[in-house]
Amino acid sequence: MSALPPGSTIGILGGGQLGRMLSLAAARLGLKCHVYSDVPGGAADVAAASTVAPYENTNAVRAFAGSVDVVTYEFENVPLAAAAAAGEAAPIRPGPKALAVAQDRLKEKSFVSALGIPVAPFAAVDDDASRDAALLAIGESGILKTRRFGYDGKGQVRIRNAAELAPAFETLRRAPSVLEGLVPFAYEVSVLVVRSLAGEIRTYDIPLNTHKDGILDTSTVPSPLPPAHAARASDIAGAIATALDYVGVLGVEMFYLPDAPEPLVVNEIAPRVHNSGHWTMDACLTSQFENHIRAVAGWPLGPTGRHSDVTMTNLIGHDVDHWQALAAEPDSALHLYGKPDARPGRKMGHINRLKPRT
Amino acid sequence: MSALPPGSTIGILGGGQLGRMLSLAAARLGLKCHVYSDVPGGAADVAAASTVAPYENTNAVRAFAGSVDVVTYEFENVPLAAAAAAGEAAPIRPGPKALAVAQDRLKEKSFVSALGIPVAPFAAVDDDASRDAALLAIGESGILKTRRFGYDGKGQVRIRNAAELAPAFETLRRAPSVLEGLVPFAYEVSVLVVRSLAGEIRTYDIPLNTHKDGILDTSTVPSPLPPAHAARASDIAGAIATALDYVGVLGVEMFYLPDAPEPLVVNEIAPRVHNSGHWTMDACLTSQFENHIRAVAGWPLGPTGRHSDVTMTNLIGHDVDHWQALAAEPDSALHLYGKPDARPGRKMGHINRLKPRT
């Protein structure tokens, strides 16, 4: 349980913007980073070392892990074989259990549900028989989602009536899927919870999230969530983190149904720093990135309090072309990820617009 | 006057903690850094590229500058020949004028004084004759300082009576020096001013600085400086920046004499980000480092307002051994520079302790 001293090296699987912001946070603490990614990316520009190799190359993963003091990751789809190979040479935090659960929607929903925490109604769709059974169990409208590799609205099809399910399953190439019932939520919130190596839990204030084209658009704190429900949401996230024996930041997306007997329904968990926590970079003394690094390095957690109100807005695709105007906005902090091509749907940066705390 | 687009590369001469924090700030904006240093250092760990070569190797400096979009520096003792070589291949900001003035205490004092801004009484000491003349001009007590390469109390000797001056000059190996008269100040403040490529000027709130063994110990905002004098201090710093046709962050140290006809006396200018501005990393939306990068990249300046009160305390030498306790402090942000050896007098990090704004 000893803390890694300054000068130690954090290995990060994944070289995108989350790995980049983790590296920047580690550097503040005098920690080095080594980024492992299957493609060159912006994280390597701010890391002391980088490896570019396939995640399937377990020898390369093992050598990488052998050169660092702890391994963490910026995305939940790290192949389990890569995580296992890394784990042979260094501690991996969060642990493989979080990965295994979060990589598979069916396992994830079953796991959360087994903790007594509400999730949307769900049923497995693996073949024609289970497809038809799911329709009976869930009803005629819902969302068919692949069990694996879905993100930002990818790998999912909306179902409006019974006749749409079969073609949707074909659209998803008959990949093992889950049919989810629709939840009549008022809005979505998310809990950023961090759990230390010693098991201490801290949560950030809870943002209200809005989406555009299936991608997170804004996260705003404070959310209108009533205090009792906010406390319940934090407890739910903490219970999931503890059940996973989790170390680091965990993002838990929830639907809010103000008048339902169970007003908070878990939508999805992300075993990593989360886009809906990017506002913590400018409205908190310790960002989600620094607290993730602190946790995986065995350090004491930093404060999760908030000194300002804030709305984080993602810059997607060509939104980033307006960088000069965005950089000139008062009371704002602009973050750009150093990606060369502003492709549609690509997260290029974000802007945090702050106001004095209400 | 066009702004460098995201993805551009900032070249930084100097690879210590200031270069490191500049690199981290540049990365937030999607800018890359290339660090040039005569010794390996912590900045290279967070930069996209690094060169280790002597500053006297003007070919290497020119090649470095040719590979970047703009050159800046983290220390005022960049050899002028290196700055000139860099300037042949890329814009250098702040410009060579600021370097030439700030590298030489005699030039610096003459320059500031010529702007009608008060400085401590001073006289050149180059040889026995000017040494004796200085004594007559300044009086029997003062500080003899080398004109060049002094920092953190190095290169200076306190004089308490006439008999001490000659041996002090020998202690400084008869290097060209300046005898400064003592200023009976109440306390020291500093102004962090940033000037954009277009000439816009913004200043941060003014910290009160304390020293220990000649090295900055703490910087606290707000200082007790009365508003009218704070405004005057900001105007002085802005006037110096404009007179130097300065681009970037300039640190101006001043003595405060509440009851004197001229209550603010300029002690020293630093043509770079400044240790007394490290509190801006956590108490402001845009740190001094980001505003320096914005200025040298031709970007609009960021806000210099402050959301919290704060005291920055330097971690010198073995102070850093207490990193675990420091990391556990509430309402604090710890910054470590990634230096391997905690030698006495070495700046190893700093901690910003925040309070709600008064």
B29 in A contact zone (CB under 8 Å):
yes
Half-sphere exposure of A50 (CA within 13 A, CB side): 23
CB-based contact A303 B334, cutoff 8 Å: no
Asked if residue A101 belongs to a domain, the reply is no
Phi, psi of B88, rounded to the nearest 5 degrees: -70, -25
Listed in sequence order, the residues at least 6 apart from B204 whose beta carbon sits closer than 8 Å to its beta carbon are: B191, B192, B193, B221, B277, B280, B284, B288, B304, B306
Residue in chain B closest to A30 (alpha carbons) equals B338
> In angstroms, rounded to a whole number, what is the distance separating the alpha carbons of residues A212 and A23?
28
Residue B195, min C-alpha distance to chain A (Å) = 15
DSSP bridge pairs for A220 = A208, A311
Window 338-357 of A, Cβ < 8 Å to B:
338-340, 349, 354, 356
Asked if residue A216 belongs to a domain, the reply is yes
Size of interface A-B (CB pairs under 8 A): 121
CB-based contact B333 A294, cutoff 8 Å: no
> In angstroms, rounded to a whole number, what is the distance separating the alpha carbons of residues A22 and A27?
9
Residues A220 and A325 placed together within one structural domain of the fold = yes
Which residues in chain A show pLDDT less than 50?
A: none
Asked if residue B247 belongs to a domain, the reply is yes
CB-based contact A323 B5, cutoff 8 Å: yes
Residues A163 and A268 placed together within one structural domain of the fold = no
Alpha-carbon A189 to chain mean position: 13
Both tokens assigned to B150: 């002094």
Residues A75 and A128 placed together within one structural domain of the fold = no
pLDDT at B149: 80
Residues B163 and B209 placed together within one structural domain of the fold = no
Please give the full DSSP string across A291-306, using - where no structure is assigned: HHHHHHTTPPPPP--B
> In angstroms, rounded to a whole number, what is the distance separating the alpha carbons of residues B183 and B119?
9
Total residues found in chain A within this entry:
358
Residue B25, min C-alpha distance to chain A (Å) = 9
Residues B195 and B314 placed together within one structural domain of the fold = yes
Q: Where does a domain end: A158, A181, A204? A: A181
Q: Pick from B292, B293, B289, B333: which is nearest to B311 by CA?
A: B333
> Along chain B (358 residues), what's the average pLDDT of each consecutive run of 10 residues?
92 97 98 96 94 97 98 95 96 94 95 97 95 90 89 83 93 94 96 98 98 95 97 98 98 97 96 98 98 98 97 98 97 96 95 95
CB-based contact B327 A299, cutoff 8 Å: yes
What residues make up the domain containing A45?
9-92
DSSP tag of A241: H
Asked if residue A86 belongs to a domain, the reply is yes
In the block, which residue shows the tokens 């190596």? A197
pLDDT at B139: 87
Q: How many domains does chain B have?
A: 3
Both tokens assigned to B345: 């007098």
> In angstroms, rounded to a whole number, what is the distance separating the alpha carbons of residues B277 and B192?
7
CB-based contact B6 A333, cutoff 8 Å: no
CB-based contact B300 A335, cutoff 8 Å: no
Asked if residues A104 and A110 have their Cβ atoms less than 8 Å apart, the reply is no
Q: Pick from B256, B277, B258, B259: which is nearest to B267 by CA?
A: B256
Window 262-321 of B, Cβ < 8 Å to A:
282, 285-286, 294, 299-300, 302-303, 305, 307-308, 320
B198 in A contact zone (CB under 8 Å):
no
CB-based contact A294 B327, cutoff 8 Å: yes
Beta strands in B304-358 (DSSP E): 308-316, 332-336, 347-356
For residue A36, how many other CB atoms are within 10 A of its CB? 32
pLDDT at A152: 67
> Which CATH number does the domain housing residue B131 bear?
3.30.1490.20
For chain B, the maximum distance between any two Cα atoms, rounded to a whole number of angstroms, is: 59
Asked if residues B303 and B286 have their Cβ atoms less than 8 Å apart, the reply is yes
CB-based contact B327 A24, cutoff 8 Å: no
Q: Where does a domain end: B147, B181, B215? A: B181
CB-based contact A338 B30, cutoff 8 Å: yes
Phi-psi region at B261: left, alpha or beta (left = phi > 0; alpha = psi -120 to 50): alpha
Asked if residue B309 belongs to a domain, the reply is yes
Residues A165 and A196 placed together within one structural domain of the fold = no
> In angstroms, rounded to a whole number, what is the distance separating the alpha carbons of residues A214 and A210?
9
Total residues found in chain B within this entry:
358
> Which CATH number does the domain housing residue A79 bear?
3.40.50.20
Query: How big, in percent rounded to 5, are the helix, strand and coil portions of chain A?
Result: 30, 30, 40
Asked if residues A85 and A65 have their Cβ atoms less than 8 Å apart, the reply is yes
> In angstroms, rounded to a whole number, what is the distance separating the alpha carbons of residues A248 and A281?
16
B334 in A contact zone (CB under 8 Å):
yes
Residues B130 and B240 placed together within one structural domain of the fold = no
Pick B7's closest partner by Cβ from A282, A300, A338. Answer: A338
B18 in A contact zone (CB under 8 Å):
no
**Bridge pairing between strands B248-256 and B215-221:** unpaired
pLDDT at A335: 98
Both tokens assigned to B304: 């210099």
Q: Which residues of B115-140 are buried (b: 16+ CB within 10 A; e: fewer)?
A: eebbbbbbbbbbeeebbeebbeebee
Residues A241 and A265 placed together within one structural domain of the fold = yes
Instruction: Tell me if residue A107 falls in helix, strand or coil.
Output: helix
Half-sphere exposure of B353 (CA within 13 A, CB side): 11
> Angle at Cα B317 formed by Cα B314 and Cα B318, nearest 5°?
105
Q: Which residues of B166-176 are buried (b: 16+ CB within 10 A; e: fewer)?
A: eebbeebeebb
Site from A304, A336, A357 to mutate, B interface, most B CB atoms within 10 angstroms:
A336
Sign of the CA dihedral B300, B304, B305, B306? Answer: positive
Helical segments of chain A, H only: 17-28, 58-66, 80-89, 96-102, 105-114, 128-138, 165-171, 227-243, 280-283, 288-296, 323-327
B354 contacts on A by Cβ (under 8 Å) = 285, 307
> In angstroms, rounded to a whole number, what is the distance separating the alpha carbons of residues A347 and A337?
8
Window 41-60 of A, Cβ < 8 Å to B:
44-48
DSSP bridge pairs for B178 = B124, B145
Q: Where does a domain end: A92, A113, A136? A: A92
The CA-atom distances, in angstroms, between B305 and each of A146, A354, B219, B310 are: 48, 12, 16, 13
Residues B125 and B156 placed together within one structural domain of the fold = yes
pLDDT in tens, A36-75: 999 998 999 999 999 999 999 999 999 999 999 999 999 9
Provide the whole-model pTM. 0.96
pLDDT at B352: 98
Asked if residue B2 belongs to a domain, the reply is no
Residues B78 and B149 placed together within one structural domain of the fold = no
pLDDT at B358: 87
Q: Pick from A266, A223, A24: which is nearest to B45 by CA?
A: A24
Residues B299 and B252 placed together within one structural domain of the fold = yes
Residues A193 and A174 placed together within one structural domain of the fold = no
> In angstroms, rounded to a whole number, what is the distance separating the alpha carbons of residues B238 and A173?
65
Residue A11, min C-alpha distance to chain B (Å) = 14
Asked if residue A102 belongs to a domain, the reply is no
Asked if residue A195 belongs to a domain, the reply is yes
pLDDT at B101: 95
> Which CATH number does the domain housing residue B346 bear?
3.30.470.20
